[in-house]
Amino acid sequence: MTLRTMLIATAFVALALPAAAADAKLTAAIAASSRATENSVRDGARHPGASLEFWGLKPGLTVVEISPGGGYWAEILAPFAKQTGGRYIAAMSKVDQKLPAKFSDMNVYGDFHYTVAGKDSGPLGAANSADLVLTARNVHNWLGPQGWADKAMKDFYAVLKPGGILAIEEHRADPKSETSAGADGYLATATVVALAEKAGFKLDAKSEINTNPRDTKDHPFGVWTLPPSRQSSEVKDKPSPAGFDRAKYDAIGESDRMTLRFRKPS
């Protein structure tokens, strides 16, 4: 081996090591015992490692998650940010709203940050301050007469740095047509793309990571008929309609979902 070849090989290894270390930290965050069992058992349907890799998660990024719900992604993203010098920000719907108390454990989750995202909220943060904004299974909630879908996309655009990423996971209506304002929880990919592009984003890539061909998208209680919601009646704790087969919908699994990556132009 010549000296030049040795130097190139050494440089290649040096470049690869940080990526390998980052992958190991992400793998560790996904496998961590600090995650709630009800979240980790869903990994087979939600594909956290592959999804975050597709969306471009890297060490040291400032990540804003919109409406984190029960903390599925927060349990992964906050420890990863702590371990890699990044920053995780949970954007809640109310000023005083918080995730479960366990997220106050700085040994696991680091310096956890909050902001507010909603119809009447101010900026998510300083302009051009975030590297990645993630919203999972939320866009259908923001449509309709009382919605704030256009404002949401403008807020995401404003907080992201030039070149920053908007990561979206959403229940996918295609090839069927979506119901009015996504009333059944499903949206057409074209609807989501149009919303993001209207705010100035450019579609960077689509992925089939979260596809589910078993999802027929014609369920009696919309997408909420499927796991994890498993709705079985019009009103909670009321009897299911005659002929309703809970096992049929459990066998479908979680919904068929679009997985999209948008970029704010540099």
Query: Domain-by-domain residue ranges, the chain?
Result: 3-263
pLDDT in tens, 50-96: 999 999 999 999 999 999 999 999 999 999 999 999 999 999 999 99
> What confidence score (pLDDT) does residue 18 get?
60
Please report, for residues 97, 115, 221, the alpha-carbon distance to residue 66 in angstroms, rounded to integers and kept in the order given.
13, 9, 25
Ramachandran category for residue 166: left, alpha or beta (phi over 0 → left; psi -120 to 50 → alpha) = beta
Mean per-residue pLDDT, 132-159: 96
Mean pLDDT of the chain: 92
* 222: Cβ contacts below 8 Å, ≥ 6 apart: 183, 184, 185, 186, 231
pLDDT in tens, 176-232: 999 998 999 999 999 999 999 999 999 999 999 999 999 999 999 999 999 999 999
> What confidence score (pLDDT) does residue 16 get?
40
Mean per-residue pLDDT, 130-152: 95
pTM above 0.85, yes or no: yes
pLDDT at 11 > cutoff 60? no
CATH homologous superfamily of 3-263 equals Vaccinia Virus protein VP39 (3.40.50.150)
pLDDT at 7 > cutoff 60? no
pLDDT at 145 > cutoff 90? no
Higher pLDDT, 21 or 1: 21
Contact predicate 130/96, CB 8 Å: no
Helix H or strand E segment including 206: strand 202-207
What residues does 168 pair with on adjacent strands?
135, 260
Tokens of 8: 């190139």
